[in-house]
Structures are given as structure tokens and as C-alpha cells.
Amino acid sequence: MSLITISPGHYSPGSGAKDIIDEVTEARKIVNRIVRLLQNVDIGVTHIEDNISKTQEENLEYLIAQHNNTTRKLDVSVHFNSTSGRHDTNIGTEVLYVSDKMKAFASQISKAISNASGLRNRGGKKRTNLGFLNNMNKPAILIEICFVNSTVDVSLYQNYFEEICIAITNELIQYVKPGHIPIDSKSAQRNQEETNSNELNSTLKGTLSLQNFTGPTLITRLEEILTNKQKIKQMLEKGIKDQAIQPIWLEKLNNGTLTTSDFLGIGTLIAANKTE
């Protein structure tokens, strides 16, 4: 049973805040890691990511509908903050809420992120003008990890990425399962290593279990291709030239949203085109 539904904000890299880092790219990294940490301790989670919207309005409608269509106790949206200009100060982290019942929880997550990373604790902040928070039919929070235009914030975020993810995950777990044993960095790293050892190596988003393959030679050859981004690009360009696939797949590679499963499916289409 899913207890948490979580999504990164916006719809494609470049559609959110941009400066030293890109909000969407980093929010997706955070969400991907939190989802894995939750799964490692058997906490039911639904992961939503918008790769189809073309406007902010479409994106908001999509995320609201997808979240409200799931079974859960808590909705979480992950964002990165921004202000005007470039800054060399610690601006910090904050967590937004609309229902007063979520104030203490939002404040606790902000504090946990701050304690884990050194980011300034801006606390829980009530916002009544955000479509995501206003339209959830379950308790909801919106996490602003740090400011993309602060050199100090970005450095702390990058240096303490894992600690931030673990801190957020532990607070989410306590909300949906009070008293659950907290995750520590050693167990998180051990689970990550065990998971990685059972997955197909790939530079693309998402992986596949080695258990899905029966030939060691096939695995070796696939990993040679999937870890060579230039080779992947060449294959996509050839597929587009032969009109076997659409140019959108090359765009997905360039913006970091192409998955391993996507690519293997695309390979099937390209091969099928050769037999027609």
C-alpha cells in the first residue's frame, strides 16, 4: 500500500529555476533518491514525474490530477528556490504548507535538512497561493531544498546530498509510520551498493534488474553501449534519419529524461524498421 506520493516540481529540465544548477534536474535527483530509500525499508511510495506537459499550467493540472488519483497519507512536492541575482551567502532551506495542521511537520523537515547540511533553516512557511498545496485532497508539503543562485547553498547541497535525502526520508517515514526505525547513512549506503550490484549499468535514467537477462555476454555488450552516451546519441540520430523514431527521443537524451527502458524500446523500433 502506498503511503506517500512524491513528485519533483515542473515538467522538464529548464522549466523551473535556473542559475548555478537547474531546479528540475536536481529536484528529480532528490526525489529519485528518496523513493529508493523509502523502497529499501518497505515504505509504500508512488513516484510521479511529468515528462509530457509543455506549459506550467499543463504541468500543474497534471501533477494535481496524478497525485489525487493515488492512495496515500501524504503528498510531497520537491523544488529548489531562487531570488534575483547571484549570491555568496547562505540563504537556506524552507518547507511550504497551506494547512495549519502541517505547520509543525513542515518546520521539522526544514530543521532536519538544515541540521544535515548546514543550510540556513528558514523554517515552515504558510503559503495560500500555490496551486499544488491548495488542490491536494490529502495533507501536503512543498519542500524548497535550497537556492539555485546561491554559491553557498549549492555547495552545501552538493556536498551533503545524501545526508539531505536521508533526513527528508526519515521525517516522511515518521509522519506515515510513527516510531519506525530511522535510516542511517551506513545502511543507506549498503542498500545502495546491493541494489547497484543487481542492476544493469547505464548512464540513462532508470535501470533494469540483471535478473531480467539470461545471457552474460548480452549483459556485457548492453552495458558497453548504455554507458557510452556518444554511442547512444549516434544510434538515436541514425534511427531518426531512417524515420524509425521521432526526434523527441534525442531531445529526451539531451535533457536527461531518456530512461534505460526507453532506449531498449527504441532499439526494438529501429531493428523492426530494418525488417520492413
User: What percent of the chain clears pLDDT 70, i.e. is strictly above it?
Assistant: 91
What residues have CB less than 8 Å from 149, skipping those under 6 apart? 17, 19, 20, 82, 83, 85, 86, 87
- State the average pLDDT for the chain: 91
Indicate if the pLDDT at residue 193 is higher than 80: no
Give the residue-averaged pLDDT of 247-255. 87
* Pairing mode of beta strands 4-8, 93-97: unpaired
- The H or E element that residue 5 is part of is strand 4-8
Residue 197: is its pLDDT beyond 70?
no
List, in order of start, the domains of the chain with CATH numbers.
Answer: 4-188 (3.40.630.40), 210-275 (no CATH)
Give the pLDDT confidence score for residue 76 in this predicted structure: 99
Residue 35 confidence (pLDDT) = 93
- Average pLDDT for 16-44: 94
Tell me the pLDDT tens digit for each residue of 36-67.
Answer: 999 999 999 999 999 899 999 999 999 999 99
191 pLDDT above the threshold of 70:
no
Given pLDDT bands bounded at 50, 70 and 90, which one contains residue 253? confident
- The sheet carrying 74-81 orders its strands as 45-47, 4-8, 74-81, 140-147, 93-97, 121-126
| CB-based contacts of 271, cutoff 8 Å, min separation 6 | none
Res 185: pLDDT: 75
Instruction: Specify the range with the lowest mean pLDDT, choosing from 34-48, 151-165, 192-206, 213-227.
Output: 192-206
Tell whether the model's pLDDT for residue 98 goes beyond 90: yes
Does 184 score more than 90 pLDDT?
no
Q: Are 11 and 53 in contact (CB under 8 A)?
A: yes
What confidence category does residue 217 fall into, taking pLDDT thresholds of 50, 70 and 90? confident
Identity of residue 2: S
Which pLDDT does position 1 carry in this prediction? 81
Confidence band for 127, pLDDT divided at 50, 70 and 90: very high
The rounded distance, in Å, linking the Cα atoms of 231 and 224 is 9
Which whole number is the average pLDDT over 164-173?
A: 98
Tell me if residue 127 falls in helix, strand or coil: coil
Model confidence band, residue 70 (pLDDT cutoffs 50, 70, 90): very high
* Coil, helix or strand at residue 72: coil
Higher pLDDT, 131 or 262: 131
Grade residue 195 by pLDDT with cuts at 50, 70 and 90: low
CA-CA-CA-CA torsion sign (71, 47, 178, 104):
negative
For residue 194, what pLDDT is reported? Answer: 55
For range 168-179, the mean pLDDT: 98
pTM of the model: 0.72
pLDDT at 219 (0 to 100): 74
Average pLDDT over residues 81-92: 97
Alpha helices by DSSP H, listed for the chain, are 23-40, 56-68, 103-117, 131-135, 151-159, 161-176, 185-197, 216-226, 229-241, 248-255, 260-275
